[in-house]
A = this chain, B = another copy of it.
């Protein structure tokens, strides 16, 4: 893996993720103000913690590049994975009602984020009504996404869950303008299993099947969707849309 720590300095106005980040729905004049309070942090390396549960809550983070895993520990100290966040996603909204972060967030890859100090954000929002609405919208979408995820866990078989997961990631890349049939996803199969409430063995067996039938190949962090139609058949009837 490359270790180059690029320090992004592009402004919100020029950011390719503008449409999906907070900046969505703001006027040019307001964008400049948001831009000023955003702290563009140097890259996180794989395994670096963005924040830990119990640390003082201070900021939201917009992901610019890389991937973040959000998780907690259950009483047996096993990880409970709540989500994987990709460029354009916002991390930390779950903790905004609390004095401390409620979950852990770790970089799965070289990752760059914009840090948005919450205090300053709410101050700015008092002058820019659209920003309040934008935050409401993102949080409401997060709730709906969680509900969709619950349905996935409770209503779908192992095959369907994994097929959905792959389509979901593909759809995220597509909506960000990247190739969606072939992409790198630096997530352990073990973590995918955990997220889908399966064991690594089950994920491995299903991937072996998908591979044998030339539907999906997922080897060494590289996913290729070879037969999207059949993958959708496996996923079941619900459309995979995502933000």
Contacts and interface: CB of A to CB of B under 8 A. Distances in A.
Interface stretch (A43-51, A149-157, A180-188, A220-228): A149-157
The A interface is mostly helix, strand or loop, or mixed, namely helix
A33 interface: no
B147 A103 contact: yes
B139 A74 contact: no
B125 A132 contact: yes
Given A151-B72, A155-B80, A93 B140 contact: yes
Nearest to A239: B75
A94 to B, nearest CB: 4
A202 to B, nearest CB: 14
Interface of A: 72, 74-76, 78, 80, 82, 93-98, 102-103, 122, 125-126, 129, 132-133, 135-144, 146-147, 149-151, 153-155, 197, 236-238
